[in-house]
């Protein structure tokens, strides 16, 4: 097995997100030689006809509670594939992923982000961490998407990450959300310590709903556009383009509750492996509902006269 897309699903909500991600993967990659894996702590039931395309790795040893995000650091231990694209469960795939695997076929580790100093304020005041590790900089990254190839370098990298996990509290590493230990700071420090360069954000590959004021997302016609107009600004310098058309779109804890995510998710499960008539009907229904939703959202935004605020 050469190529795999992998996601973690711990807890009921993330199991549902992971299945939606898997279905979106099949929509555009069902005939590719890429395997899809869901690493989970519970049994997930799916239709028998899809069981050959969606694989499950059920483990009782997965980290939970405050350490749940750190499971990503053990992904190479759980999956036999040589090349792994690790994607957050609350994401959609919007295209063929084979070109992505081909483009980075010679890379062992791919993490998207940017080099920053402590004064940039990512994850709070990190000066003590930089000093204790003899570092002049750190990388600001977003963990929605990683690429790893099994190699001597990647093994060394993950060993450094595991050492950092063991020293997490002693190093005073920051936590996120509800006091969760952070995979991003671990990967960031490991890259800095090993002089592994990360690559700049590329909105053609991945984009995040949290960074854009507006969006138009319809899985059934293959449309994914994230954008903001000339009167709006992003609060993050991670945004490089005013418009993004990514092959992978990552939602956040807030946007998974929005109408467009829910509608795409619900109808996606009815769409896969159905006859042409049902597919056309779903396309017509979802396109009408989503277009209406976005028109209303954009109209409300336009008349609000409030600049620099998010639409969703």
- Can you give the pTM of this predicted structure? 0.90
Which one, of 240, 238, 213, lies nearest residue 227 by Cα?
213
Contact 215, 260 (CB under 8 A): yes
Domain positions in the chain are 3-194, 206-304
Q: Give the angle subtended at the CA of 58 by the CAs of 52 and 61, to the nearest 5°.
A: 160
Helix (H, G, I), strand (E, B) or coil at 113: strand
pLDDT at 75: 96
72-99 average pLDDT score? 96
Superfamily the domain 3-194 falls into: Spore Coat Polysaccharide Biosynthesis Protein SpsA; Chain A (3.90.550.10)
Residue 61 pLDDT > 60: yes
Which one, of 97, 71, 68, lies nearest residue 83 by Cα?
97
226 vs 51: which has the higher pLDDT: 226
Residue 162 pLDDT > 90: yes
Cite the beta strand spans of the chain per DSSP E: 3-9, 34-40, 54-58, 83-87, 91-93, 109-116, 138-149, 175-176, 180-181, 206-208, 214-218, 223-227, 243-244, 248-250
């Amino acid at each position: 097995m050469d190529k795999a897309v992998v996601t973690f699903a711990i807890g009921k909500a993330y199991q549902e997100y992971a299945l939606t991600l898997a279905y979106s993967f099949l929509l555009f990659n069902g005939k590719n030689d890429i395997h899809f894996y869901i690493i989970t702590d519970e049994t997930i039931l799916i239709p028998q006809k899809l069981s050959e395309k969606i694989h499950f790795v059920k483990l009782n040893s997965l980290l939970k509670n405050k350490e749940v995000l750190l499971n990503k650091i053990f992904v190479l231990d759980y999956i036999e594939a040589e090349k792994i694209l690790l994607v957050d469960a609350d994401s959609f795939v919007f295209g063929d992923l084979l070109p992505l695997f081909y483009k980075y076929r010679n890379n062992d580790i791919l993490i998207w982000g940017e080099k920053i100093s402590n004064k940039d304020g990512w994850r709070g005041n990190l000066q003590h961490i930089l000093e204790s590790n003899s570092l002049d900089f750190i990388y600001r990254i977003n963990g929605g998407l990683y690429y790893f190839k099994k190699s001597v370098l990647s093994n060394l990298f993950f060993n450094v990450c595991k050492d950092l996990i063991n020293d997490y509290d002693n190093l005073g590493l920051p936590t996120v959300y509800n006091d969760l230990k952070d995979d991003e700071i671990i990967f960031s420090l490991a890259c800095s310590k090993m002089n592994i360069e990360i690559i700049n954000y590329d909105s053609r590959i991945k984009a995040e709903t949290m960074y854009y004021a507006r969006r138009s997302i319809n899985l059934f016609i293959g449309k994914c556009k994230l954008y903001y107009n000339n009167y709006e600004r992003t609060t993050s310098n991670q945004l490089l383009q005013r418009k993004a058309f990514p092959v992978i779109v990552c939602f956040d804890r807030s946007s998974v509750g929005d109408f467009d995510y829910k509608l795409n998710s619900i109808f996606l499960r009815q769409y896969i492996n159905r006859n042409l008539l049902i597919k056309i009907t779903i396309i017509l229904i979802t396109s009408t509902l989503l277009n209406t939703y976005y028109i209303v959202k954009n109209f409300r935004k336009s008349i609000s006269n409030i600049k620099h605020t998010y639409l969703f």
